[in-house]
Chains A and B, each alone.
Chain A
């Protein structure tokens, strides 16, 4: 056993009995979880439901759980070699067979996706074991991990001065890169839309510390404002844009006025309620909003009056004839891409600047300590209302962009899950961090879009990613709080406080 305990000098002899008990317990729990919902499948047959059993899947889940638990125990008890020796070949064989499509010989699952999950878990275990073998320690404590990630966060934020412009340059030349086809640009538009929404919500959640679970309501108000104005009053996109933002901000202020004195969780649930109310109204006010059918035929945006069409209407120019270009439908996509990019950048610039104004400082102070703010003469309600209103305004802008891009909107697009996604983008990136929002949006929106073929697993992966990232780093991936104000411009070292 000398080899097995090489990693930890203080390794105690392995208590096989306790290990079997612990792994058995995990297996029992896995059985209890899987037996009902995995073991039996409800099938729709004429005249009711029939039932189908899938006990082989239950057995597989239980066995894998036990194996995983044993691996975890071995890692915890400083015996990584065993895990590495078994886990590495296992994961390599699985991954190779999955790549070449032989996995059906090894795994009893009906789907390759489950095979991938198993293979990746085995790979994670064996990588951790190898890491432990080479560094002598298995699991970094939470404090160590926090410290490392905080350092990375700080480094990214200092690097943001250089990385930001680089990312921006990439974003600007993206449409002209050789691989940028329509699909890539569509994903780009989507990601930038969420970045803009994330930056908008960051004002409310990150800066002012108000937990808003109904942000999508303002997005919806912006969308419908533009769509209704354009359809009924025949107004153009550029005229409607400020109006849509104004309407959303107004809604934000009206909704915020009665509820903003509530604290954290209560505020969250009330804003969630408001989000649902707005959606229910859109769904049921048939004469005005078209109800579940939504609004269609929303006009596309124009480039200063030049339309993106093959043939111009009477007496007008189109974009391609005016500039003497060949007509191509991608011109409109590229235009939309730049449009949302500029809108998102304006949001960012606005946030960066307003943070340095008294109202921005008041937001951050309010987030830290409301009572102290109140005693210093800051009016909490008005300050919160400005944050709520401004955040809502940007959602309104993004909403009218959404309407003009889709050409069709319906209440389907404004469900709670959208609010949750936007909030996840803000929180996972690290609250209050502008660059964190960008990374989180690329991670959460961009990656799943690229793997669109795995459609049915998309939201499953999304949910588990939210949980895993939060467990791994509760304050968000790139969370690092730079002090906004420093004594002596930060030249002298601040005194350590206990």
Chain B
């Protein structure tokens, strides 16, 4: 069975879905790293908060009697992006802005502290138990069938892939075409010069965090829909792997983050499909180490020249 093409296709679909989650989180890391050069370690927790706000929204909608799925999904999507964005904005304002211009290590420690804080904050408010949710979608289309082995693409997976694709196109356009995107790229190149030219650097950085948080919240929603169960601890591993994805693709590069996310998702899916499930995290980190040794700037990253 493992040798068949159908099995391969199945893993490919699973890996792509997983890759969508990692890619969406990785964009947040890459944007923030590009603009202020820090690892926003608490970004994984923002993803977790997005998942929690999504499940709360679904429960409220269920209680309110809105059961038409497209409408419910749209409301949840907008709500979770909105409320998670506030967390992203506050995180930057409270924890990172006072530390701008201080040693990098200080910002990293603050980020780790924030990550611990947010995890325990959610645990206190929503208890430490697993939060299960009934599947929202059912059914799908059959792609292939041979020897009783059916490869199907569920509507859920189609939804996830198309949503991710749309979001990535929209956000790429925002960065490539709008004045906000231009301001972001200017800040990335030279913050001091950008502010001299009349760009509100603080506002640009805040909006970068808001954008990252929005994408991470969608990743949280996808995670919830795909796995049907969340807890307060999901942010850590997903965050670390998404960061791995960002580094793999070349940190600071938007297409790199998407590519990296997809690759990490595929590596995980194929590793669990063909080797052992237990060591899938080891595989992801192993790839990261190999990439960093042989191509320290990542796959699509620009070489970083150190000036003296």
Q: B-contacting residues of A (Cβ < 8 Å)?
A: 29, 32-33, 35-38, 40-42, 44, 48-51, 205, 211, 258-259, 261-262, 264-266, 268-270, 272-274, 276-277, 280-281, 283-284, 371, 416-417, 420, 423-424, 427-428, 431, 456-457, 459-460, 462-467, 470-471, 474-475
A50 to B62, CA, bound (A): 10
Q: Is B117 an interface residue (CB 8 A)?
A: yes
Residue contact B240 to A423, C-beta cutoff 8 Å: no
Q: Which of A51, A259, A467 contacts B95 (CB 8 A)?
A: A467
Rounded to whole Å, the gap between the CB of A282 and the closest CB of chain B is 11
CB distance from A147 to the nearest CB of B (A): 15
**Per-residue contact bits, chain B 108-119, to A (CB 8 Å; 1 contact, 0 not):** 111011111111
Kindly report which residue of chain A lies nearest to residue B284, judged by CB atoms. Answer: A273
Question: What are 6 A-B pairs at a CB distance below 8 A?
Answer: A36-B56, A37-B125, A48-B134, A49-B131, A268-B108, A470-B106
* Contact yes or no, B103 A474, CB < 8 A: yes
The listed residue (B82, B244, B306) touching A269 by CB distance below 8 A is B244
Q: Give min CB distance, A446 to chain B, whole Å.
A: 18
B109 near A463: Cβ-Cβ < 8 Å: no
Give the top 7 A-B pairs by smallest Cβ distance, nearest first. A466-B113, A463-B117, A463-B116, A474-B102, A273-B285, A474-B106, A32-B86
Task: Please tell me if B99 contacts chain A, counting CB pairs below 8 Å.
Answer: yes
Judge if B243 is at the interface, Cβ distance under 8 Å.
yes
A46 to chain B, nearest CB (A): 12
Residues from chain B with Cβ under 8 Å of A258 in the complex: 289, 293
Q: Are B122 and A276 in contact (CB under 8 A)?
A: no
B302 CB-CB contact with A under 8 Å: no
B55 proximal to A (CB < 8 A): yes
A316 CB to closest chain B CB (Å) equals 43
Which of B86, B109, B240, B296 interacts with A262 by CB under 8 Å?
B296
Neighbouring A residues of B195 by C-beta, 8 Å: none
Do A259 and B293 have beta carbons less than 8 Å apart? yes
Q: Nearest Cβ in chain A — how far from B84, in angstroms?
A: 8
- Closest A residue by C-beta to B293: A258
Residues of B within 8 A of A259 (CB): 289, 292-293
B109 to chain A, nearest CB (A): 5
Task: Name B98's closest neighbour in chain A (CB-CB).
Answer: A471
| Of A33, A269, A423, A459, the contact of B86 (CB 8 Å cutoff) | A33
Take A371-B306, A456-B124, A466-B112 as given contacts and tell me if A265 and B104 are in contact as well, using a CB distance cutoff of 8 Å: yes
B247 near A269: Cβ-Cβ < 8 Å = yes
Q: Is B214 an interface residue (CB 8 A)?
A: no
> Looking across the interface, which residue of chain A has its beta carbon closest to that of B128?
A456
When distances are taken between beta carbons in the complex, the residues of chain A under 8 Å from B133 are: 48-49
Is B8 close to A, CB under 8 A?
A: no
Q: Kindly report which residue of chain A lies nearest to residue B236, judged by CB atoms.
A: A416
Contacts of B118 on A, CB cut-off 8 Å?
463
Within 8 A of A (CB), among B229-274: 236, 240, 243-244, 247
Residues of chain B within 8 A of A427, CB atoms compared: 105-106, 109
Does the CB pair B116–A475 fall under 8 Å? Answer: no
A467-B240 contact in complex given A33-B87, A48-B132, C-beta closer than 8 Å: no
Instruction: From known contacts A371-B306, A424-B112, infer whether A274 and B122 are also in contact, taking CB-CB under 8 Å.
Output: no
Residues of B within 8 A of A280 (CB): 278-279, 281-282
Let me know if A463 and B120 touch, CB within 8 A. yes
Find A471's partner among B110, B112, B247 (CB 8 Å cutoff): B110
Given contacts A35-B83, A211-B108, A280-B278, contact A465 B113 (CB under 8 A): yes
Alpha-carbon distance between A470 and B94 when the two chains are bound, in angstroms: 12
Nearest Cβ distance between residue B106 and chain A, in whole angstroms?
Answer: 4
- Cα–Cα, bound, A283→B293 (Å): 27
Tell me, in angstroms, the Cα distance from A55 to B23 when the chains sit together: 35
Q: B166: shortest Cβ distance to chain A, in Å? A: 24
Which of the residues A38, A44, A273 comes within 8 Å of B240, measured between beta carbons? A273
Give A281 to B278 CA distance when docked, in angstroms.
9
Q: Would A470 and B39 be within 8 Å (CB), given that A29-B90, A475-B103 are in contact?
A: no
Min CB distance A396 to B, Å, is 22
Please name all residues of chain A whose beta carbon is closer than 8 Å to the beta carbon of B39 when the two chains form the complex.
Answer: 265, 268-269
Q: Are B289 and A270 in contact (CB under 8 A)?
A: yes
Shortest CB–CB separation between residue B124 and chain A, in angstroms? 6
B125 CB contact (under 8 Å) in A38, A266, A424, A459 = A38
**Interface flags, B80-100, vs A, CB<8A=1, else 0:** 001100110110001100110
Most chain B Cβ neighbours within 10 Å, of A273, A283, A416, A457:
A273
Cβ contact of B285, chosen from A36, A276, A371, A474, cutoff 8 A: A276
Contacts of A424 in B (CB 8 A): 109, 112-113
Nearest residue (CB) in A for B62 is A51
Interface membership of B27, Cβ < 8 A: no
Q: Does B173 contact A (CB under 8 A)?
A: no
User: Quick check: A44 and B288 within 8 Å, CB to CB?
Assistant: no
- Asked if A277 and B59 sit within 8 Å, CB to CB, the answer is no
Cross-chain contact B60 with A464 (CB below 8 angstroms): no
Q: Is the CB of A44 within 8 A of B116?
A: no
> Are the C-beta atoms of A423 and B90 separated by less than 8 Å?
no
Instruction: State the CA gap A33–B117 with chains docked (Å).
Output: 14
Which residue of B has the minimal Cβ distance to A279?
B281
Given A48-B134, A456-B124, A471-B99, verify A277-B113 contact (CB < 8 Å).
no
